[in-house]
Amino acid sequence: MPEALPDLLAADGVLFDLDGVLTPTAEVHMRAWKVVFDQVFAQWGITPEYTDADYYEYVDGKKRYDGVASLLRSRNVEIPWGDVDDAPEAETICGIGNRKNAAFASSLRAEGIAPYPGSLAVVERLHAAGIPLGVVSSSKNAEEVLASAGIRSFFRIVVDGVVAERDGLASKPAPDMFREGGIALGVDPARSIAVEDATSGVASAAAAGYADVIGVDRGTGADALRAAGATVIVDDLSLFLPTLSNDTTETA
């Protein structure tokens, strides 16, 4: 770009979103949402048709059911919320969300997932340097994705959709999840860094008071990330590698 990059090695901790930041699962999510919403829109005669722009504006970064409700509300469609145990065929917010999750889980288990190489390299160097690392993800599949990608051991804590539902944490863009991430990791957000690719996640981290919020532009757009509160924009975390010492594996 280039922009002045924050010093990751000087942070109390670094907290990462998962989908679209650490792993390309955002693409799997996008495909699963499109399959489900195309079906729902056709069945109910909803217009205008669902687009990728809808994903970024109404769904990306939010908890699953909140994303469904937000998207349908954009088309002036209101349906019962239902229950988290609703069958995927149920015509409820939870039913549609569960239908999407079944499509996502099927794809993940069939194809697997690998981390972005640049993200993996940054995480490896920060972990070797002893920087506390955590994941803050709205996905209820976060633990499975991290395990599938072979990177779960790098992160001391995971605050995900399961934790959010259990503890009553509001969905991003509310600050709750990133605030809880800082507490769980034992770091002060004012001296820590958050990394996000969704406007809702950027806004959540900014509202939680993180010193820097790195926006990773995988398609959302730099202007949108900046407007949400990102302090620096990159298109890949590999841009940080020159700032990370190659000798971080030495024992202090």
Q: Of 111, 134, 166, which marks where a domain is finished?
A: 111
- Asked, for residue 171, whether it belongs to a domain, the answer is yes
pLDDT tens, N- to C-terminus, the chain (252 residues):
457 999 999 999 999 999 999 999 878 888 899 999 999 999 999 999 999 999 989 998 888 999 999 999 999 999 999 999 999 999 999 999 999 989 888 888 888 899 999 999 999 999 999 999 999 999 888 999 999 999 999 999 999 999 999 999 999 999 999 999 999 999 999 999 999 999 999 999 999 999 999 999 998 999 999 999 999 999 999 999 999 975 444 333
Q: Are residues 44 and 56 in the same domain?
A: yes
CA torsion angle for 32, 60, 16, 167 (degrees, to 10)?
Answer: -90
**How far are the Cα atoms of 7, 70, 122, 147 from residue 240, in angstroms, in the given order?**
9, 34, 7, 24
Place of tokens 């900014």: 206
Q: How far is CA 246 from CA 124, 130, 154, 242, 250, in A?
A: 11, 14, 18, 9, 9
**pLDDT given at position 109:** 84
The answer to whether residue 8 is domain-embedded is no
- Which one from 19, 60, 66, 86 is the annotated catalytic residue? 19
The answer to whether 159 touches 135, Cβ cutoff 8 Å, is yes
Give one DSSP letter per residue of 88-122, joined into a string: TTSSSHHHHHHHHHHHHHHHHHHH-----HHHHHH
Same structural domain, 155 and 198: yes
Q: Would you state the pLDDT for residue 172?
A: 94
What is the per-residue pLDDT for 245?
72
Q: Where residue 84 sits, what CATH number does that domain have? A: 1.10.150.240
Range of the domain at 87: 27-111
Query: Of 17, 86, 176, 197, which residue is the catalytic one?
Result: 17
Residue 38 is a catalytic residue: no
Domain with residue 206: its CATH number is 3.40.50.1000
- The confidence score (pLDDT) of residue 2 equals 54
Q: Shortest CA distance to 59 belongs to which of 211, 195, 173, 206?
A: 173
Domain assignment present for 58: yes
What is the reported pLDDT for 26?
76
Task: Say what the pLDDT of residue 243 is.
Answer: 92
Answer yes or no: is 192 within a domain. Answer: yes
In a domain, 2, yes or no: no
Three-class HEC string of 183-206: HHHCCCHHHCEEEECCHHHHHHHH
Number of domain units in the chain: 2
SS3 at position 244: coil
How much is the pLDDT for 111?
A: 82
Residue 17 is a catalytic residue:
yes
Residues 6+ positions from 215 with CB-CB distance below 8 Å: 196, 197, 202, 222, 225, 226, 228, 230, 232, 233, 234
Tell me whether residue 165 is in a domain: yes
H-run or E-run covering 63? none
